[in-house]
Amino acid sequence: MEKLGDFSVHRTLVLSVMDEESVPKIRGCLEELPGMEQLVFDDGRRRLELTYDASLLGLPVIEQALADAGCSAADGRWSRMRRAWYRYLDENARANAMAKGACCSNPEEVYAKRHK
C-alpha cells in the first residue's frame, strides 16, 4: 500500500464485530482494493482507521469488502450518519478528480457557448 494521489482521505469506521480471528481476513480483503493506503485496527474499541485515495476508492466498495470478509460497520445512528457523510465526501472527491477544471484563457469551457 502506497500513497497514490492527491485525494487521500482518512476515515474511521466502528465495526459491529471485530475479534482477533477476523482482523487478518478483513485486512486481506481491504488491502486488495486499489487505492487503499493504510489500515489501522483498534481491537478494544472495534475501530478501523483507513487511509485511501478517494479518486479511486469509495466507502460503498469498502463496505462491500467488509461484508465479503464477514463483518459490517456498526449500525448506530451516529455511525450511519458518519458513513453517509463519508459517502458524500468521497463522491465529491471523485467528481473533482475527474473534472477538467476551468481555464480562464478559454471561457467556452466555463460558460455555455453563447450566441451573440
pLDDT band at 97 (very low <50, low <70, confident <90, very high): confident
Residue 76 domain-assigned?
yes
- pLDDT of the residue at 52: 94
Q: What does the pLDDT look like over 43-85, one tens digit per residue? A: 788 899 999 999 889 999 999 999 988 888 999 999 999 999 9
Per the structure, the count of domains in the chain is 1
Residues 6+ apart with CB under 8 A from 24: none
pLDDT band at 36 (very low <50, low <70, confident <90, very high): very high
- The Cα–Cα gap between 1 and 47 comes to 20
**Count of CB atoms within 10 A of residue 97's CB?**
14
What is the domain-level CATH number for residue 82? 3.30.70.100
Residue 116 domain-assigned?
no
- pLDDT of the residue at 106: 61
**Count of CB atoms within 10 A of residue 63's CB?**
17
- pLDDT of the residue at 46: 87
Residue 69 domain-assigned?
yes
Write the DSSP assignment of 53-75 as a string of letters: ETTT--HHHHHHHHHHTT--B--
Residue 105 domain-assigned?
no
- pLDDT of the residue at 112: 60
**Burial class for 47, CB neighbours closer than 10 Å (0-12, 13-18, 19+):** middle
What mean pLDDT comes out for the span 12-40? 89
Give percent above pLDDT 90 in the chain.
50
- pLDDT of the residue at 32: 92
